[in-house]
């Protein structure tokens, strides 16, 4: 898929993602954006490999991606939806958005090395510099996690 979204060509790769998010190894948890409807929704991917540093201790002999990192990956996808949408409107000085609330987190299956996490995030509403997002993650078409996320804008100091 090489669709054009404004001045961006899909898919959006990790080098482009690093220009949009402040996260870096080992905490950048999005590898690619494959779909986006600006100000509405985004679909992003995370390839989960045995080389992830958290697998060293979670769990010995039975590697499982921590649920909190699945939530963080969905929050990063929400941040990408916000940053890409703002840039497409010409706002190059977009503030950072911080995760401020997680509600209704559910985990229905483990995420293990070799899985590809597909994060689907939809903006539910935006108010006073905050965004409320509905997020879910899938592996092989099966939902493995879901939650509501609230992110708030914070100007850089």
Q: CA-to-CA distance for 86 and 83, rounded, in angstroms?
A: 5
pLDDT higher than threshold 60 for residue 9: yes
pLDDT digits (tens, 9 = 90+) for 40-57: 999 999 999 999 999 999
Query: What distance in Å separates the CA atoms of residue 20 and residue 134, rounded to the nearest whole number?
Result: 21
| Mean pLDDT computed over 78-91 | 92
> Is 62 a residue of the active site?
no
Q: What pLDDT, on the 0 to 100 scale, is given for residue 1?
A: 42
Residue 156 has pLDDT above 80, yes or no: no
Residue for token pair 């108010």: 127
Catalytic residue among 23, 32, 58, 122: 58
Give the mean pLDDT of the chain: 93
Residues 115 and 36: beta-carbon distance below 8 Å: no
The token pair at 15 is 């080098």
C-alpha span between 53 and 49 (Å, rounded): 10
Q: Which CATH number fits domain 4-154: 3.40.50.620, 3.50.50.60, 1.10.150.80, 3.10.129.10?
A: 3.10.129.10
> pTM of the prediction?
0.94
Strand order in the sheet with 130-139: 32-37, 41-47, 116-127, 130-139, 142-154, 96-107
Domain ranges of the chain: 4-154
């Amino acid at each position: 898929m090489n669709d054009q979204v404004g001045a961006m060509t899909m898919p959006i790769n990790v080098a482009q993602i690093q220009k949009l998010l402040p996260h870096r190894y080992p905490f950048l948890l999005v590898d690619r954006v494959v779909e986006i409807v600006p100000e509405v929704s985004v679909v992003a991917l995370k390839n989960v490999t045995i080389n992830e540093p958290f697998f060293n201790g979670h769990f010995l002999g039975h590697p499982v991606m921590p649920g909190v990192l699945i939530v963080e990956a969905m929050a990063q996808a929400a941040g990408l939806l916000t940053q890409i949408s703002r840039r497409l409107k010409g706002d190059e000085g977009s503030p950072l958005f911080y995760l401020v609330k997680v509600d209704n987190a559910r985990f229905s299956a483990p995420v293990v090395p070799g899985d590809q996490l597909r994060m689907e995030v939809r903006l539910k509403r935006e108010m006073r510099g905050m965004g409320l997002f509905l997020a879910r993650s899938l592996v092989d078409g099966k939902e493995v996690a879901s939650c509501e996320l609230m992110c708030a804008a914070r100007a850089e100091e």
